Homo-oligomer: A and B are copies of this chain.
Amino acid sequence: MLNQNYIDMCGQKSVIRELFAYGSERAKEIGYENVFDYSLGNPSVPVPETFTREMIRLLQDENPVALHGYSPSLGIDSVREDVATSLNIRFDMHYEKKDIFMVSGAAGAIAHAARAVTVPGDEILTFAPYFPEYQPYIAATGAVLKVVPADVSTFQINFDAFLDLLNEKVMAVLINTPNNPSGIVYSTGTIDKLAMILTEKEKEFGHPIYILSDEPYREIVFHDVDAPFVAAHYNHTLTCYSFSKSLSLPGERIGYIAVNPACEDSALLVDMFGQISRGIGHNCPPSIIQLAVAKTLYDTADLSVYEQNKNILYTELTKMGFDIVEPGGTFYMFPKALEEDAVAFSNQAKELDLLLVPSNSFGVTGHFRISYCIPTEKVERSIPAFQKLADRYLA
């Protein structure tokens, strides 16, 4: 007898994947260059050369038995040490090796962090708009994910709605800043207010409330945007990091959890992650990739294209009459749709070969996501299609 839960999940198609698949088919008909596919959040710029060079050096120079050997279950010691140092230098923190757990990307990080700080039945809160995969990520831990409705005027935190949902069963809040899908970066004011409320409620409830800070877009922050390092503002922070977007290597599955050393039991938490791995088949990120990213901790891919694309789209779409909260980072934008039904709006766009993801699966109605991690040249060529779309509603 197969597990019906997973069979049922197979039936639930991802809107994003379906749009992407449609785009691939459509490209065969009218040419790849004529489909404006804003569906997927895949980095579009190459990995830094430092990474490639280090990979080749490792393969050519190192003893292969040692190079490809088992990683210790918490990650390779020198890599953990290097990650701690880089965070200390960049964010004025005090991490040590013991506080760092190497993990296979942000999905893996959340899988470990959520299991460590909850038991089945506990609650985790997240904030709309949110990455839809949080639902299956958390559901499988046995905890319950509840979604705080969005403040659609700013996409910062809707604190009134947050306080309505914050009860003693809440063991963690899962935040994502810079945010997928809004592109918004939580301000220092937002993070400090969140920290203050959580600190008060920890006292009231008599237990810690952790921030699980999902930060794959940390390095993609635009010019002059206030982008606080969350853990510097709240002790009970588990920073869930992925190198996927900063280094443009989402397929290589590499990231870490950094446990704020000001958090009591920080080393115990990291040890617990090692135990959690045993039950979910994790067993460390690939050794060679750990070693190579350790040489690129102060480097990123050339991320400037994303800000350039944002500027073009934000300027042009705003001119056309779209209502948009200006992104502070990432390669996403989350404008208001021109009709209430986001799916109907996305279908209108599809007729113009413009692939836009309707907002519903992100926990917000009446919006759409643009993933502008595509060449700037294509962004520019897509503007007339957006104009035609706007004309259908506003002309």
Contact = CB atoms under 8 A, between A and B. Distances in A.
Interface string A232-270: 000000000000000011111110000000000100110
Contact of A249 (B45, B68, B280): B68
Contacts of A287: 251-252
A152 B207 CA distance: 51
Given A42-B70, A117-B2, A137 B64 contact: no
B133 A278 contact: yes
Nearest to A249: B68
B68 A248 contact: yes
A47 interface: yes
A259 to B, nearest CB: 11
Contact of A68 (B3, B251, B275, B279): B251
Contacts of A265: 2
Contacts of A272: 2-3, 6-7, 9-10
A285 interface: yes
A10 B52 contact: no
Contacts of A103: 281
Given A46-B65, A65-B45, A284 B3 contact: no
Contact of A10 (B46, B68, B136, B271): B271
Counting every copy of the chain, the complex holds 2
Contact of A59 (B4, B56, B254): B56
Interface in A266-311: 268-269, 271-272, 274-276, 278-289
A366 to B, nearest CB: 27
Nearest to A4: B119
Interface stretch (A104-112, A193-201, A212-220, A323-331): A104-112
A348 interface: no
Contact of A286 (B141, B271, B286): B286
Contacts of A55: 55, 59
Given A2-B268, A10-B272, A105-B283, 18 more contacts: A2-B117, A6-B276, A10-B268, A10-B271, A43-B65, A47-B64, A47-B68, A68-B251, A104-B281, A104-B283, A105-B281, A111-B281, A112-B281, A136-B279, A251-B286, A251-B287, A280-B282, A281-B282
